[in-house]
Structure 1
Amino acid sequence: MALTVPEPEPCAADERAPASVEAAFEALSAAAPKGWRVELIEGEIHAAPPPVGRHEEIVSELSGQVRDHRKDLGRYTNIGLSVPGASSTGKVIPDLAIAPKGSFDDDVDYHDPSSVLLVVEVLSSSTAGNDRIKKLRGYARAGIPCYLLVDRAADLAIRCTEPSGERYLCMSEIDLAKKVIPLPDPLGFALDTSQF
Protein backbone atom coordinates (compact mmCIF):
# COMPACT_ATOMS: atom_id res chain seq x y z
CA MET A 1 0.00 0.00 0.00
CA ALA A 2 1.44 3.33 -0.98
CA LEU A 3 1.20 6.32 1.30
CA THR A 4 0.50 9.66 -0.18
CA VAL A 5 1.32 12.91 1.49
CA PRO A 6 -1.28 15.58 1.01
CA GLU A 7 -0.21 18.95 -0.33
CA PRO A 8 0.46 21.30 2.57
CA GLU A 9 -2.16 23.95 3.13
CA PRO A 10 -1.05 27.56 3.44
CA CYS A 11 -0.14 28.40 7.00
CA ALA A 12 -2.33 31.00 8.65
CA ALA A 13 0.82 32.89 9.65
CA ASP A 14 1.73 33.24 5.97
CA GLU A 15 -1.55 35.01 5.34
CA ARG A 16 -0.75 37.55 8.08
CA ALA A 17 2.84 38.15 7.01
CA PRO A 18 3.55 41.85 6.42
CA ALA A 19 3.70 42.82 2.79
CA SER A 20 6.52 45.32 3.30
CA VAL A 21 9.11 46.55 5.77
CA GLU A 22 6.81 49.51 6.46
CA ALA A 23 3.98 47.14 7.42
CA ALA A 24 6.34 45.13 9.64
CA PHE A 25 7.49 48.40 11.24
CA GLU A 26 3.90 49.41 11.97
CA ALA A 27 3.18 45.99 13.53
CA LEU A 28 6.31 46.09 15.71
CA SER A 29 5.65 49.68 16.76
CA ALA A 30 2.14 48.76 17.87
CA ALA A 31 3.40 45.73 19.83
CA ALA A 32 6.44 47.37 21.45
CA PRO A 33 6.41 47.75 25.24
CA LYS A 34 5.74 51.26 26.56
CA GLY A 35 8.78 53.51 26.24
CA TRP A 36 10.60 51.42 23.64
CA ARG A 37 11.65 53.26 20.50
CA VAL A 38 10.99 51.46 17.26
CA GLU A 39 12.52 53.21 14.26
CA LEU A 40 12.71 52.56 10.53
CA ILE A 41 16.14 53.69 9.38
CA GLU A 42 17.29 53.18 5.82
CA GLY A 43 14.99 50.21 5.32
CA GLU A 44 15.89 48.48 8.60
CA ILE A 45 13.80 48.24 11.75
CA HIS A 46 15.58 49.06 15.01
CA ALA A 47 14.18 48.78 18.53
CA ALA A 48 15.79 50.23 21.64
CA PRO A 49 14.74 50.10 25.28
CA PRO A 50 13.78 53.31 27.09
CA PRO A 51 16.78 55.50 27.95
CA VAL A 52 17.64 55.85 31.62
CA GLY A 53 19.99 57.56 34.04
CA ARG A 54 22.64 59.94 32.78
CA HIS A 55 21.18 59.82 29.27
CA GLU A 56 17.92 61.33 30.48
CA GLU A 57 19.74 63.86 32.68
CA ILE A 58 21.58 65.18 29.61
CA VAL A 59 18.40 65.41 27.53
CA SER A 60 16.62 67.19 30.39
CA GLU A 61 19.51 69.65 30.85
CA LEU A 62 19.63 70.44 27.12
CA SER A 63 15.88 70.96 26.99
CA GLY A 64 16.02 73.32 29.96
CA GLN A 65 18.83 75.36 28.45
CA VAL A 66 16.96 75.77 25.18
CA ARG A 67 13.93 76.97 27.18
CA ASP A 68 16.12 79.47 29.06
CA HIS A 69 17.58 80.91 25.85
CA ARG A 70 14.64 80.73 23.44
CA LYS A 71 11.09 80.90 24.80
CA ASP A 72 9.75 80.80 21.23
CA LEU A 73 11.05 77.28 20.60
CA GLY A 74 9.44 73.99 21.54
CA ARG A 75 11.50 71.17 23.01
CA TYR A 76 10.21 67.80 21.86
CA THR A 77 11.24 64.42 23.23
CA ASN A 78 9.81 61.23 21.75
CA ILE A 79 8.47 63.05 18.69
CA GLY A 80 8.44 60.99 15.52
CA LEU A 81 10.02 62.45 12.39
CA SER A 82 9.78 61.22 8.80
CA VAL A 83 13.19 61.57 7.20
CA PRO A 84 14.31 60.58 3.72
CA GLY A 85 16.22 57.33 3.54
CA ALA A 86 16.95 54.21 1.56
CA SER A 87 13.34 53.10 1.95
CA SER A 88 10.43 55.25 0.87
CA THR A 89 10.20 56.60 4.40
CA GLY A 90 12.43 56.79 7.41
CA LYS A 91 10.75 57.00 10.77
CA VAL A 92 12.97 58.13 13.61
CA ILE A 93 12.54 59.37 17.17
CA PRO A 94 15.40 61.68 18.18
CA ASP A 95 16.23 62.16 21.85
CA LEU A 96 15.40 65.85 21.46
CA ALA A 97 14.06 67.95 18.59
CA ILE A 98 13.95 71.75 18.70
CA ALA A 99 11.43 73.58 16.51
CA PRO A 100 9.15 76.62 16.74
CA LYS A 101 6.30 76.07 19.17
CA GLY A 102 3.24 74.59 17.48
CA SER A 103 5.24 72.76 14.80
CA PHE A 104 3.78 69.40 15.80
CA ASP A 105 0.24 70.23 16.96
CA ASP A 106 -1.46 67.54 14.90
CA ASP A 107 -2.25 63.90 15.59
CA VAL A 108 0.17 62.16 13.22
CA ASP A 109 2.80 59.78 14.60
CA TYR A 110 5.64 60.91 12.32
CA HIS A 111 6.03 64.55 11.31
CA ASP A 112 7.58 66.47 8.45
CA PRO A 113 10.97 67.64 9.82
CA SER A 114 11.11 70.88 7.79
CA SER A 115 10.53 73.08 10.86
CA VAL A 116 13.19 71.37 12.99
CA LEU A 117 16.20 73.58 13.78
CA LEU A 118 18.17 71.10 15.91
CA VAL A 119 18.10 67.39 16.65
CA VAL A 120 20.06 65.86 19.50
CA GLU A 121 21.06 62.25 20.00
CA VAL A 122 22.78 61.14 23.19
CA LEU A 123 24.85 58.15 22.15
CA SER A 124 24.47 54.81 23.86
CA SER A 125 26.02 51.47 23.03
CA SER A 126 22.79 50.19 21.49
CA THR A 127 22.17 53.19 19.20
CA ALA A 128 25.60 54.73 18.46
CA GLY A 129 26.03 53.15 15.02
CA ASN A 130 22.69 54.42 13.76
CA ASP A 131 23.15 57.85 15.36
CA ARG A 132 26.63 58.36 13.87
CA ILE A 133 25.92 57.11 10.36
CA LYS A 134 22.35 56.39 9.31
CA LYS A 135 20.54 59.08 11.28
CA LEU A 136 23.22 61.59 10.33
CA ARG A 137 22.46 60.88 6.66
CA GLY A 138 18.70 61.06 7.25
CA TYR A 139 18.87 64.36 9.15
CA ALA A 140 21.15 65.84 6.47
CA ARG A 141 18.81 64.67 3.68
CA ALA A 142 15.92 66.29 5.61
CA GLY A 143 17.84 69.58 5.69
CA ILE A 144 17.86 69.89 9.49
CA PRO A 145 20.29 72.80 10.09
CA CYS A 146 22.04 71.42 13.17
CA TYR A 147 22.57 67.88 14.48
CA LEU A 148 24.25 67.43 17.85
CA LEU A 149 25.57 64.06 19.00
CA VAL A 150 26.59 63.83 22.64
CA ASP A 151 29.09 61.00 23.22
CA ARG A 152 29.10 60.38 26.97
CA ALA A 153 31.78 57.68 26.82
CA ALA A 154 34.26 59.93 25.00
CA ASP A 155 33.21 63.12 26.83
CA LEU A 156 32.70 64.99 23.58
CA ALA A 157 29.98 66.38 21.39
CA ILE A 158 29.89 66.36 17.62
CA ARG A 159 28.15 69.40 16.14
CA CYS A 160 27.04 68.93 12.54
CA THR A 161 25.89 71.93 10.49
CA GLU A 162 25.33 72.95 6.86
CA PRO A 163 23.42 69.94 5.52
CA SER A 164 24.09 69.09 1.88
CA GLY A 165 22.75 65.92 0.31
CA GLU A 166 23.60 62.98 2.57
CA ARG A 167 26.08 64.75 4.81
CA TYR A 168 26.84 67.82 6.85
CA LEU A 169 29.57 70.00 5.39
CA CYS A 170 30.75 71.24 8.78
CA MET A 171 31.38 68.77 11.60
CA SER A 172 33.17 69.83 14.78
CA GLU A 173 34.20 67.70 17.75
CA ILE A 174 33.86 69.65 20.97
CA ASP A 175 35.43 68.42 24.19
CA LEU A 176 32.74 68.53 26.89
CA ALA A 177 35.41 69.68 29.37
CA LYS A 178 35.49 73.00 27.47
CA LYS A 179 32.02 73.55 28.94
CA VAL A 180 30.47 75.32 25.93
CA ILE A 181 28.89 74.17 22.66
CA PRO A 182 28.11 77.16 20.42
CA LEU A 183 25.03 76.68 18.25
CA PRO A 184 24.85 78.52 14.92
CA ASP A 185 22.01 80.69 13.65
CA PRO A 186 19.07 80.37 13.60
CA LEU A 187 19.60 79.16 17.18
CA GLY A 188 22.37 81.60 18.06
CA PHE A 189 23.28 80.61 21.61
CA ALA A 190 25.71 78.30 23.40
CA LEU A 191 24.99 75.24 25.53
CA ASP A 192 26.71 74.89 28.87
CA THR A 193 27.97 71.30 29.25
CA SER A 194 29.09 71.59 32.88
CA GLN A 195 25.98 69.68 33.98
CA PHE A 196 26.63 66.78 31.58
Structure 2
Amino acid sequence: MTVIDYESQIHPEEFDEATAIMARTITSIRLELIDGKIRSRVVPDGDHGRIVQWLTRICMQSRPELWLHPDQGLKAQTYRKGRARPDASLAPTDAFVGQGEWADPAPVLMTVEVTSYDSDTDNRDRVEKPRAYAQTDIPVYLLIDRDNCVVTVHSEPDGVRYETIHTVPFGKEITLPEPVGITLETEQLKDWVR
Protein backbone atom coordinates (compact mmCIF):
# COMPACT_ATOMS: atom_id res chain seq x y z
CA MET A 1 0.00 0.00 0.00
CA THR A 2 1.17 3.50 -0.77
CA VAL A 3 0.52 6.32 1.67
CA ILE A 4 0.43 9.95 0.59
CA ASP A 5 0.56 12.10 3.70
CA TYR A 6 -0.18 15.79 3.22
CA GLU A 7 0.93 18.41 5.73
CA SER A 8 -2.54 19.91 5.56
CA GLN A 9 -5.65 17.76 5.51
CA ILE A 10 -7.13 17.00 2.10
CA HIS A 11 -10.78 17.94 1.73
CA PRO A 12 -13.23 15.09 1.05
CA GLU A 13 -14.62 16.92 -2.00
CA GLU A 14 -11.14 17.12 -3.55
CA PHE A 15 -10.61 13.44 -2.81
CA ASP A 16 -13.97 12.52 -4.36
CA GLU A 17 -13.12 14.43 -7.55
CA ALA A 18 -9.64 12.90 -7.80
CA THR A 19 -10.91 9.34 -7.28
CA ALA A 20 -13.60 9.80 -9.92
CA ILE A 21 -10.95 10.81 -12.45
CA MET A 22 -8.59 7.98 -11.46
CA ALA A 23 -11.36 5.36 -11.53
CA ARG A 24 -11.85 6.00 -15.23
CA THR A 25 -8.20 5.22 -16.01
CA ILE A 26 -6.75 2.96 -13.31
CA THR A 27 -8.61 -0.23 -12.37
CA SER A 28 -5.90 -2.05 -10.40
CA ILE A 29 -5.95 0.06 -7.20
CA ARG A 30 -8.48 1.10 -4.59
CA LEU A 31 -8.28 4.52 -2.90
CA GLU A 32 -9.41 5.62 0.55
CA LEU A 33 -9.07 8.78 2.68
CA ILE A 34 -8.42 7.92 6.33
CA ASP A 35 -7.09 10.38 8.92
CA GLY A 36 -6.51 12.89 6.12
CA LYS A 37 -4.17 10.51 4.28
CA ILE A 38 -4.84 9.10 0.84
CA ARG A 39 -4.29 5.35 0.93
CA SER A 40 -4.14 3.01 -2.03
CA ARG A 41 -3.94 -0.74 -2.26
CA VAL A 42 -3.91 -3.26 -5.03
CA VAL A 43 -6.96 -5.25 -6.00
CA PRO A 44 -7.35 -8.30 -3.70
CA ASP A 45 -6.20 -11.82 -4.63
CA GLY A 46 -8.42 -14.84 -5.38
CA ASP A 47 -8.41 -16.26 -1.85
CA HIS A 48 -9.43 -12.83 -0.52
CA GLY A 49 -12.37 -12.82 -2.95
CA ARG A 50 -13.31 -16.37 -1.99
CA ILE A 51 -13.52 -15.39 1.68
CA VAL A 52 -15.92 -12.57 0.80
CA GLN A 53 -18.01 -15.07 -1.23
CA TRP A 54 -18.06 -17.47 1.75
CA LEU A 55 -19.26 -14.71 4.06
CA THR A 56 -21.84 -13.49 1.53
CA ARG A 57 -23.41 -16.95 1.36
CA ILE A 58 -23.63 -17.19 5.16
CA CYS A 59 -25.19 -13.73 5.43
CA MET A 60 -27.75 -14.48 2.70
CA GLN A 61 -28.78 -17.72 4.40
CA SER A 62 -28.96 -16.18 7.88
CA ARG A 63 -30.32 -12.72 7.08
CA PRO A 64 -32.01 -12.75 3.62
CA GLU A 65 -33.31 -9.20 4.10
CA LEU A 66 -29.72 -7.94 4.09
CA TRP A 67 -26.93 -7.95 1.52
CA LEU A 68 -23.17 -8.04 1.90
CA HIS A 69 -22.26 -5.17 -0.43
CA PRO A 70 -18.67 -5.60 -1.72
CA ASP A 71 -16.41 -2.56 -2.08
CA GLN A 72 -19.08 0.12 -1.50
CA GLY A 73 -17.34 3.35 -0.53
CA LEU A 74 -18.53 4.88 2.75
CA LYS A 75 -18.26 8.35 4.23
CA ALA A 76 -16.41 7.58 7.44
CA GLN A 77 -14.90 9.09 10.58
CA THR A 78 -15.80 12.14 12.59
CA TYR A 79 -18.07 14.48 10.64
CA ARG A 80 -17.73 12.20 7.58
CA LYS A 81 -14.35 13.68 6.61
CA GLY A 82 -12.98 10.29 5.66
CA ARG A 83 -13.67 7.90 2.83
CA ALA A 84 -13.32 4.17 3.44
CA ARG A 85 -13.89 1.29 1.07
CA PRO A 86 -14.48 -1.83 3.19
CA ASP A 87 -14.11 -5.20 1.54
CA ALA A 88 -17.82 -5.58 2.30
CA SER A 89 -20.63 -3.87 4.23
CA LEU A 90 -23.69 -5.65 5.60
CA ALA A 91 -26.77 -3.48 5.08
CA PRO A 92 -30.32 -3.67 3.73
CA THR A 93 -30.45 -4.65 0.06
CA ASP A 94 -31.34 -1.17 -1.24
CA ALA A 95 -29.27 0.77 1.31
CA PHE A 96 -26.99 2.41 -1.25
CA VAL A 97 -29.34 2.91 -4.19
CA GLY A 98 -28.82 6.36 -5.70
CA GLN A 99 -25.91 7.28 -3.42
CA GLY A 100 -22.93 7.13 -5.76
CA GLU A 101 -19.38 6.10 -4.93
CA TRP A 102 -19.29 7.38 -1.31
CA ALA A 103 -22.46 6.44 0.57
CA ASP A 104 -23.95 7.42 3.90
CA PRO A 105 -22.93 4.68 6.39
CA ALA A 106 -26.07 5.01 8.56
CA PRO A 107 -27.75 1.78 7.34
CA VAL A 108 -24.58 -0.32 7.70
CA LEU A 109 -24.77 -3.01 10.40
CA MET A 110 -21.26 -4.38 9.84
CA THR A 111 -18.13 -3.64 7.86
CA VAL A 112 -15.76 -6.42 6.83
CA GLU A 113 -12.05 -6.36 6.07
CA VAL A 114 -9.98 -9.33 4.94
CA THR A 115 -6.26 -8.74 5.38
CA SER A 116 -4.12 -8.51 2.28
CA TYR A 117 -0.52 -9.58 2.05
CA ASP A 118 0.89 -6.05 1.81
CA SER A 119 3.15 -3.98 4.02
CA ASP A 120 0.46 -1.68 5.40
CA THR A 121 -2.22 -4.19 6.37
CA ASP A 122 -1.25 -4.05 10.06
CA ASN A 123 -1.80 -0.32 10.44
CA ARG A 124 -4.70 -0.07 7.98
CA ASP A 125 -6.87 -3.05 8.99
CA ARG A 126 -5.96 -3.39 12.68
CA VAL A 127 -5.62 0.28 13.73
CA GLU A 128 -7.02 2.86 11.29
CA LYS A 129 -10.08 1.03 10.01
CA PRO A 130 -11.45 0.01 13.44
CA ARG A 131 -11.04 3.58 14.66
CA ALA A 132 -12.71 5.03 11.53
CA TYR A 133 -15.64 2.60 11.72
CA ALA A 134 -16.10 3.18 15.46
CA GLN A 135 -16.11 6.96 14.92
CA THR A 136 -18.78 6.38 12.29
CA ASP A 137 -20.87 4.31 14.77
CA ILE A 138 -20.95 1.20 12.61
CA PRO A 139 -22.17 -1.44 15.12
CA VAL A 140 -19.85 -4.32 14.13
CA TYR A 141 -16.44 -4.49 12.44
CA LEU A 142 -15.35 -7.97 11.35
CA LEU A 143 -11.67 -8.52 10.58
CA ILE A 144 -10.69 -11.78 8.91
CA ASP A 145 -6.96 -11.80 9.53
CA ARG A 146 -5.15 -14.13 7.14
CA ASP A 147 -1.72 -13.19 8.51
CA ASN A 148 -2.51 -14.40 12.02
CA CYS A 149 -5.25 -16.93 11.09
CA VAL A 150 -7.78 -15.31 13.43
CA VAL A 151 -11.20 -13.71 13.22
CA THR A 152 -11.69 -10.56 15.28
CA VAL A 153 -15.10 -9.03 15.99
CA HIS A 154 -15.22 -5.41 17.17
CA SER A 155 -18.53 -4.20 18.62
CA GLU A 156 -20.12 -1.54 20.84
CA PRO A 157 -18.65 1.60 19.27
CA ASP A 158 -18.46 4.57 21.63
CA GLY A 159 -17.75 7.17 18.94
CA VAL A 160 -13.99 6.82 19.39
CA ARG A 161 -13.24 3.09 19.57
CA TYR A 162 -14.95 -0.26 19.87
CA GLU A 163 -15.44 -1.21 23.52
CA THR A 164 -15.67 -4.97 22.91
CA ILE A 165 -13.16 -6.96 20.88
CA HIS A 166 -13.39 -10.75 20.60
CA THR A 167 -10.80 -12.85 18.73
CA VAL A 168 -10.80 -16.56 17.89
CA PRO A 169 -8.41 -18.66 15.78
CA PHE A 170 -9.58 -20.04 12.45
CA GLY A 171 -11.50 -23.23 13.18
CA LYS A 172 -13.45 -21.87 16.17
CA GLU A 173 -17.05 -20.68 16.11
CA ILE A 174 -17.73 -16.98 16.67
CA THR A 175 -21.02 -15.11 16.95
CA LEU A 176 -21.40 -11.69 15.41
CA PRO A 177 -23.34 -9.66 18.01
CA GLU A 178 -26.60 -7.82 17.40
CA PRO A 179 -27.69 -6.14 15.26
CA VAL A 180 -26.01 -8.75 13.02
CA GLY A 181 -26.78 -11.91 15.00
CA ILE A 182 -24.98 -14.45 12.81
CA THR A 183 -22.75 -17.30 13.96
CA LEU A 184 -19.71 -18.16 11.83
CA GLU A 185 -18.08 -21.58 11.64
CA THR A 186 -14.55 -20.53 10.66
CA GLU A 187 -12.90 -23.91 9.88
CA GLN A 188 -13.05 -23.33 6.12
CA LEU A 189 -11.00 -20.12 6.39
CA LYS A 190 -7.92 -22.33 6.88
CA ASP A 191 -8.19 -23.27 3.19
CA TRP A 192 -7.72 -19.67 2.00
CA VAL A 193 -4.45 -18.59 3.61
CA ARG A 194 -0.86 -18.88 2.40
Deviation at 1:123, TM superposition (A): 1.1
CA RMSD of aligned residues (A): 1.9
Name the structure 2 match of 1:177: 171
Written as runs of structure 1 = structure 2, the 5 A alignment for 1:47-58 is 47-58=40-51
- Aligned equivalents of 2:181 and 2:11: distance in 1? 39
Establish whether residue 141 from structure 1 lines up as the match of residue 135 from structure 2: yes
Establish whether residue 160 from structure 1 lines up as the match of residue 154 from structure 2: yes
Deviation at 1:31, TM superposition (A): 1.8
Written as runs of structure 1 = structure 2, the 5 A alignment for 1:5-154 is 20-22=10-12, 23=14, 26-32=17-23, 33-85=26-78, 89-126=81-118, 127-154=121-148
Deviation at 1:157, TM superposition (A): 1.0
CA separation of 1:187 and 1:51: change in aligned 2, threshold 3 A: same
How many residues in Structure 1 have an aligned counterpart in Structure 2? 176
- Aligned equivalents of 2:57 and 2:124: distance in 1? 26
The one-letter code sitting in structure 1 at the alignment partner of 2:105 is P
Establish whether residue 186 from structure 1 lines up as the match of residue 192 from structure 2: no
Contact 1:28 1:38 in 2 (8 A): yes
Deviation at 1:36, TM superposition (A): 1.9
Q: Which protein, 1 or 2, shows the higher relative CO under an 8 Å CA cutoff with sep ≥ 6? A: 2
Unaligned regions of 5+ residues in structure 1, if any?
Answer: 1-18
**Over residues 51-94 of structure 1, what are the superposed CA-to-partner deviations in whole Å (9 max), with x where a residue is unaligned?**
01211111110111101111000110010100124x86111110
Deviation at 1:165, TM superposition (A): 2.1
What TM-score do you get using the length of structure 1 for normalisation? 0.83
- Residue identity over aligned pairs, in percent, reads 35
CA separation of 1:29 and 1:135: change in aligned 2, threshold 3 A: farther
- Aligned equivalents of 2:171 and 2:187: distance in 1? 7
- Aligned equivalents of 1:168 and 1:51: distance in 2? 26
Contact 1:144 1:163 in 2 (8 A): yes
The secondary structure found in structure 2 opposite 1:173 is strand
Deviation at 1:173, TM superposition (A): 1.1
Q: Which has the larger radius of gyration?
A: 1
- Aligned equivalents of 1:30 and 1:63: distance in 2? 30
- Aligned equivalents of 2:16 and 2:69: distance in 1? 22
Unaligned regions of 5+ residues in structure 2, if any?
Answer: 1-8, 190-194
What TM-score do you get using the length of structure 2 for normalisation? 0.84
